[in-house]
Amino acid sequence: SYVLTQPPSVSVAPGQTATITCGGNNIGSKSVHWYQQNPGQAPVLVVYDDGDRPSGIPERLSGSKSGNTATLTISRVEAGDEGDYYCQVWDSGTDHVVFGGGTKLTVL
């Protein structure tokens, strides 16, 4: 089955840039989506189709892909950006949805 690999944790100081990666075999051929989840709350879609943002999501959050890695970049990090971030793709081979293991973002 298809596997997405994320670092368990990322730490960044306020005002700096956070980079969260998501690795997967041939991920360049797949559409990657990102979710933010705050403690005790449901996930929120923050980036879809590699780099598009739903309405209401600030431009500070952006998505990109290069080679076998997708990246969620959060610029000018704020305390409210703390939480867990998950990448997700659809595996056409199995017609299954796949999530990465999640990355906990800590704002120092």
* Binding-site member from 71, 88, 105, 107 for another protein (CB under 8 A): 88
When asked if residue 45 is in the footprint of another protein (CB under 8 A), the reply is yes
Q: Which residue, among 56, 65, 73, has the nearest Cα to 31 in the 3D structure? A: 65
When asked if residue 86 is in the footprint of another protein (CB under 8 A), the reply is yes
Number of residues that bind another protein (CB under 8 A): 26
- Give the CA angle between residues 48, 39, 87 to the nearest 5°: 25
> Which residues, 4 to 33, sit near another protein by CB under 8 A?
31, 33
Alpha-carbon distances, residue 56 vs 43, 47, 85, 89 (angstroms): 15, 11, 17, 22
Contact 27, 70 (CB under 8 A): yes
Residue found under tokens 């293991």: 101
When asked if residue 98 is in the footprint of another protein (CB under 8 A), the reply is yes
* Binding-site member from 9, 15, 38, 54 for another protein (CB under 8 A): 54
Q: Return residues touching another protein (CB under 8 A).
A: 1, 31, 33, 35, 37, 41-45, 48-49, 54, 84, 86, 88-90, 95-102
